[in-house]
Chain A
Amino acid sequence: MVISKILHLSPEEIQNESTSDSIEAWDSLSHMKIILALEEEFCIRFEDAQIGDMTSVSKIFSIVESKL
């Protein structure tokens, strides 16, 4: 939900396999917005390396889960 809202896409348009390369709206600015929004939503703080690794929806899931 957080990701689709920021990319202005419906949740159906985003799959687990979606990556920053497969979705056009997922540019560097959106990437930052997604990170900020996730940090706020789940009250977590990502490490530098994790931010760089969050290039697909599935990776985001696993990184967020590891933080909760």
Chain B
Amino acid sequence: MPSFSEVLAYKFASASTDKIDFEISRLRDYCTATIRSLRSRTDAPILWLSFEPIAWPSYGIFDSVSTHSQRDIISYLNSFLSSELNRAGNAWLVDTGICLERVGASHFYDWRYWHLSRAPYSRKACAEIAHELLKHVRALSGRVRKCLVLDCDNTLWGGVIGEDGLKGIKIGNSHPGIAYREFQLAVLELFSRGVILCLCSKNNECDVLEVLRHHTEMVLRESHFSAIRVNWRDKVANLREIASELNIGLDSLVFVDDSDFELSLVKQFLPDIATLKVSRDSPFENRLVLAQCGLFDTHSITKEDGARAKMYASEAMRKQISRQSTNLEEYLHTLEMRLCVAPVKQDDLDRAVQLCQRTNQFNLTCTRYTRDQLLSLLNSDNALLLLLRLSDRFGDYGTVGFCMIKLDAMQAHVDTFLISCRALGRGAESAFLALSIEAVSRKNVRIVTARYVQSGKNSQVKDFYTKHGFPTVSRREEEVNYCIDLQALRLSVPSHFKEATLEY
């Protein structure tokens, strides 16, 4: 702040009201002009460090009751900045105020550097700001973790269940169990945001299940976990299995343990998995280990996110039915699935962006469209943006597929076609393609073209268009192009869907 405005930082009490008002509008104009000028030159994401709150206001304790508060002006400028960035699109305010609160204002600045080189921040402050920036960059590059895999003994509770027994382990509302209870509450916060939970621990499964089912102080229960691997095998094998069972990449996992042995084993053999160490000696810090990591942070949280972890849990029930059915077709019939394809509306745009950013496996081209790009396509007449919703008798999967078809005279080009991995293996992809093409056929289209671009993770869909009757017209190393006369396409919704609607 001092570098930005001497009037607001140092002369607040001495300056006239006019002078201060002038300074506020100067800063507003500066922000607006800078953001506009940046945006006119590039679509790249903009990260803007907010103005820091003033820890020692000029009017001292009077500042908080004053109608003309120095601190209020700073927060006003920050909310102004935030709305300008929001308007520019693909631009975010990085909250330096929250960094200052964490470090503490007395440790946040090193005035010697400020006086010498106009660099006000201490080393601690720089580290905290850098970490906050990293969280934004991670979210922007789509490297967001989806699943938290937890150890049990000395992680979820204090002590060893196999030795200490149900009554001996530490978990509860008073010391020392409270540290573990608060850790579990932090896990539950992540679950409510949509983070999938799993267990991976070396115990007797029955001991752990007894705690999950019957210990009165537990926050987390069996129903919160989407995969449980409690056995005596090595954790590397168990983690691999968890990823494949949930149909997510290893780079979506975060593994938490108190044992250096387990953590370094995982780091060595599964470097894609992020690891967090909780402390056996100072468990009171463990809640913060989770709260500070930022590994699951994203720029938007949709209602799908909130429900996701629950959907994974109901998946376990589906699996049970699947074992009872004799063949897949019969099983799919018993699910009583319903799907609905509808154009993207303003309200769904965030979910469409999220699908574009995050879907890796069932994604034909893996073009990572930003919110702005999709918004301008949505407002144009040259593109059709469709979303797929899916539900079955166990619950709602939510919005699980996105398709974008570009229209050019009588030609339609399937630019993007993707389905979230939690909806795979149910024939939804064939139904979605059939209904998307049906939507296009109402547009006087004659020719349909499509494209597969290899990305490293999407090899399972390399034959998708071929299987659905699209002839190949050209093939380069990483790219295959398809083209077909609309009349020649024979697509249909598989018969096991109880209901399939196209709201178009």
Interface residues of A (CB under 8 A from B): 28-29, 31-32, 36, 46, 48, 51-52
Contacts and interface: CB of A to CB of B under 8 A. Distances in A.
Contacts of A31: 116-117
B123 interface: yes
B117 A48 contact: no
Chain A residues touching B, majority SS: helix
B468 interface: no
Given A48-B112, A51-B112, A36 B123 contact: yes
B56 interface: no
B27 interface: no
Given A28-B116, A32-B117, 5 more contacts: A28-B117, A31-B116, A36-B123, A46-B112, A52-B116
A29 B117 CA distance: 8
A8 B279 CA distance: 38
A66 to B, nearest CB: 17
B126 to A, nearest CB: 10
B119 A32 contact: yes
A28 B116 CA distance: 9
Nearest to B116: A51
A48 B115 contact: yes
Lowest 3 A-B CB distances belong to which pairs? A28-B117, A48-B112, A32-B117
A28 B119 CA distance: 10
B113 interface: yes
A36 B115 CA distance: 15
A36 B123 CA distance: 8
A22 B92 CA distance: 42
Nearest to A40: B123
A52 B113 CA distance: 10
A46 to B, nearest CB: 7
B3 to A, nearest CB: 15
The range of chain B's interface size is: under 10
Nearest to A31: B117
A48 B112 CA distance: 6
A28 B114 CA distance: 12
A38 to B, nearest CB: 13
15 contacts: A28-B116, A28-B117, A29-B117, A31-B116, A31-B117, A32-B113, A32-B119, A36-B123, A46-B112, A48-B112, A48-B115, A48-B116, A51-B112, A51-B116, A52-B116
Nearest to A52: B116
Contacts of B117: 28-29, 31-32
Contacts of A32: 113, 116-117, 119
Nearest to A50: B112
Nearest to B119: A32
Contacts of B113: 32
A28 B117 CA distance: 7
A52 B119 CA distance: 14
A52 B117 CA distance: 10
B231 to A, nearest CB: 46
A44 B115 CA distance: 19
Nearest to B111: A48
Contacts of B119: 32
A31 B118 CA distance: 13
A8 B479 CA distance: 44
Interface string B115-130: 1110100010000000
**Best-surrounded residue of B112, B113, B115, B116 (most CB of chain A within 10 A):** B112
A3 to B, nearest CB: 17
Nearest to B115: A48
B124 to A, nearest CB: 11
A46 B110 CA distance: 12
A33 to B, nearest CB: 10
Contacts of B112: 46, 48, 51
Nearest to A49: B112
A46 B113 CA distance: 11
A6 to B, nearest CB: 14
A2 to B, nearest CB: 15
A32 B117 CA distance: 8
A51 B119 CA distance: 14
Interface string B413-425: 0000000000000
A66 B454 CA distance: 63
B131 to A, nearest CB: 18
Interface in B113-169: 113, 115-117, 119, 123
Interface string B192-225: 0000000000000000000000000000000000
A31 B113 CA distance: 10
Contacts of B115: 48
Nearest to B122: A36
Contacts of A52: 116
Contacts of A29: 117
A46 B116 CA distance: 13
A48 to B, nearest CB: 5
Nearest to B126: A36
A62 B126 CA distance: 29
A32 B113 CA distance: 7
A36 B119 CA distance: 13
A27 to B, nearest CB: 10
B114 to A, nearest CB: 10
A60 B270 CA distance: 46
